[in-house]
């Protein structure tokens, strides 16, 4: 048995499971609440062997949460973590391949990113979507980098786009013409794919990636990040049967990419229903994945791969209603909008620690 495994097994003997969040301890200003496996000082302590009663009590006092039987502890040290915005900086609107979608308003979903690729013959084209999560990172699907032709390369993202036929985007009202700022295109300096993603897997777990931009972007009315499910109080929400939304520039019923940003309302699918359906297709849906949709004519399609599945509402510990990124478009039925066949999404709450560690 390795020291690391022994350390983990020893620590699990002193864990507190199945208690409410208020019974856990709060970390000091010099500590971070992280998974035990990532806290080197406490791992070294448990690796030494049998614990004294004092050490056992100390370890229990360090526990700050437990999510899906993963223990979180207050860990000392210079742990570099991502700058993740909180509402109202994220997830709020300044103004009032999607299938069965409606056109959005000019300033809807200002976190939507179009991922652009260099292709043979000096062509540049958009083939995936993503979500701006802070001033220098876009969150998308791993398959948008690993399951594209080898001659394609992610080179930049376009932010602040609404209608690809014009720049700047403008809308005429009865008494006035309203125009957004021109879109911006920001080069991508690094693509960070989840280390456990396997493009050959039928199940497609860990279908998540970060795009680091080569500079920080300024937030405006037209460019703004979406909120992430950072707080422990929302990480365990499963969103089954909740009203959700997908947005992007994907395929419409006419099988063409839409020139205008679209949105579609979907309902979250109970996890058991999702797992049972895909099991019959030889696909295993993990707890780190979720499903939504299954209503005829309403779905996300290939052009929206990597795009956001969102929930709008008021959440615990917040008095403000805002959009939260709950899923990333991963895969679904071959024929978009097929009745009773939900789409599959990467469950973002399962990857908050990975995002916090890598979006720096």
- Nearest Cα to Cα of residue 288 among 246, 348, 201, 213: 348
Pick the catalytic residue from 207, 299, 304, 318.
Answer: 207
Among the listed residues 107, 108, 126, 143, the single catalytic one is: 143
The Cα–Cα gap between 281 and 17 comes to: 35
Query: Quick one: three-class SS letters along the chain?
Result: CCHHHHHHHHHHCCCCCCCCHHHCCCCCCCEEEEEHHHCHHHHHHHHCCCCCHHHHHHHHHHEEEEECCEEEEEEECCCCCCCCCCCCCCCCCCCCCEECCEECCCCCCCCEEEEEEEECCCEEEEEEEEEECCCCEEEECCHHHHCCCCCCEEEEEEECCCECCCCCCEEECCCCEEECCCCEEEEEEEEEECCCCCCCCCCCCCCCEEEEECCCCCCCCCCCCCECCCCHHHHCCCCCCCEEEEEECCECCCCCECCECEEEEEEEECHHHHHHHHHCCCCCCCCCEEEECCCCCCEECHHHCCCEEEEEEECCCCCCEEEEEEEEEEECCCCCCCCCCCEEEEEHHHHHHHHHHHCC
Is 194 a residue of the active site? no
Q: Is 207 considered catalytic here? A: yes
| 231 belongs to the catalytic site | no
Beta-bridge mates of residue 311: 324
d(CA 191, CA 182): 25
Active-site pick, 7, 32, 131, 305: 305
Please identify every residue annotated as catalytic. Answer: 143, 207, 305
């Amino acid at each position: 048995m390795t020291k690391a495994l022994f350390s983990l097994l020893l620590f699990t003997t002193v864990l507190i499971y199945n208690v409410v969040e208020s019974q856990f301890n709060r970390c000091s200003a010099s500590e971070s609440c992280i998974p035990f496996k990532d806290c080197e000082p406490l791992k070294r302590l448990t690796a030494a062997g049998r614990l004294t009663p004092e050490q056992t009590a100390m370890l229990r006092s360090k526990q700050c949460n437990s999510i899906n039987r993963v223990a979180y502890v207050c860990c000392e040290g210079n742990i570099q973590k991502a700058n993740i915005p909180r509402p109202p900086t994220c997830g709020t609107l300044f103004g009032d391949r999607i299938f069965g979608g409606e056109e959005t308003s000019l300033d809807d979903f200002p976190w939507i990113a179009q991922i652009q690729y260099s292709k043979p013959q000096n062509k540049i084209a958009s083939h995936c979507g993503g979500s701006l999560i802070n001033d220098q990172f876009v969150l998308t699907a791993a398959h948008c980098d690993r399951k594209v032709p080898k001659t394609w390369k992610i080179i930049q993202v376009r932010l602040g786009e609404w209608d690809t036929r014009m720049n700047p985007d403008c809308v005429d009202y009865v008494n006035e013409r309203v125009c957004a700022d021109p879109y911006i295109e920001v080069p991508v300096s690094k693509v960070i794919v989840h280390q456990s993603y396997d493009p050959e897997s039928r199940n497609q777990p860990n279908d998540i990636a970060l795009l680091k931009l080569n500079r920080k972007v300024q937030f405006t009315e037209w460019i703004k990040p979406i909120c992430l499910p950072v707080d422990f109080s929302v990480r365990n929400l499963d969103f089954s049967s909740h009203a959700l939304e997908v947005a992007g520039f994907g395929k419409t019923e006419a099988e063409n990419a839409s020139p205008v940003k679209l949105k579609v309302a979907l309902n979250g699918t109970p996890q058991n229903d999702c797992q049972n359906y895909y099991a019959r297709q030889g696909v295993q849906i993990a707890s780190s994945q979720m499903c939504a949709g299954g209503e005829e004519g309403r779905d996300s399609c290939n052009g929206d791969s990597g795009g956001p599945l969102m929930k709008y509402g008021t959440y615990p510990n917040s008095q403000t209603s805002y959009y939260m990124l709950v899923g990333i478009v991963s895969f679904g039925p071959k024929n978009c909008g097929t009745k009773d066949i939900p789409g599959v999404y990467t469950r973002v709450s399962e990857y908050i620690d990975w995002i916090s560690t890598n979006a720096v």
